Structure 1
Amino acid sequence: MLRVPERPSWGVQQAARECGVSVATIRRRIKDGSLPNAVQGARGAWTIPVTDLIAAGLNPGKPSPPDHALGVVTDLTHTEDGHSHDYAQRASSQAEGYAQLEQKLLSEQREVAHLRTQVHTLQNNLDDLRTAMRMLEAAPADRSETSPEPAPAAEPATAPEPSPRPSFFGRLFGRK
């Protein structure tokens, strides 16, 4: 009778170490059905045939590519499973989303720069208006101080002493 040799199998820890991936990756592969011949023993320990690891795209003895189940695709032309189209489509939509976000960010940055320019212009206008208001408020007080009173006709005409007139800057800033 011809005896079929038993396939080599490893536990989760050894499979992860030999394939260069994390224990979580091996457990995820078991859970998603990528390792269909993995068997859980009576005590809960898993036994995984090496052939299942190879069929799932893991390379015992060599570093493995990133886990495609996480949505990370490094090479769209070569994937070990039959879902290469799905990965390419997902990567393409993620790239489009990223490009759209970059465009939106640039647009928002331009808008912020435009608004800052407007605020600066309005601040300058406000300063100019404040200066003009100070000048208008100071003018009537100056006229009443410097306007001469009519002299009585019977008295000899003597020029009244002019009061000192405030300087331009004094009027501008409301000082007397």
Structure 2
Amino acid sequence: MSASESPRPSWGVQQAARECGVSVATVRRRIKDGSFPNAEQGARGAWLIPVTDLIAAGLNPGQPSPPDHAQEVSTVPAHTEKDHGQRASSQAEGYAQLEQKLLSEQREVEHLRTQVHTLQNNLDDLRTAMRMLEPASQDRQNTAAPEPEKTAAEQPAPEPPQKSAARSPFLSRLVGRSRS
């Protein structure tokens, strides 16, 4: 049974757009994407869309569309209470998702701040250790300055083995370096 023989009312693209408050391009796009499964193309190529398909696709017949050439604001609400409720629900879900993401990002920022604080403390400790080592390295450089060569008579006699064994290994190394 064709749309013209159907007891259900069917509208052409222009009338469907006008009655549903949408543009002709929207109706054509919906035909193309299959939103109107029962729409039929007539012999001359004109589309006939059953009103039930328009309703099933979420369009609202009975809402006049504003004129295409005028840029007036329509005083007729664009959405029904059902559409408004669905939109509010999806906005609430989106809001909840954004809140969760914000909380997650805040936790990540706090974690990163803790890591930065820990690394800053480690850096401070390393700087302190370096400052403690600097004077000792400067003393070594001062003691390692080349001395004029002494003759064999001026050279001090080597210490007996028992005395150097009694010294700590650190002092032995330190004294040994200063003599060279």
If the TM-score is normalised by the length of the shorter chain, which range does it land in?
0.3 to 0.5
Q: TM-score, normalised by structure 1?
A: 0.47
Q: Which has the higher contact order (CA 8 A, sep 6+)?
A: 2
Per the normalisation by structure 2, the TM-score is: 0.46
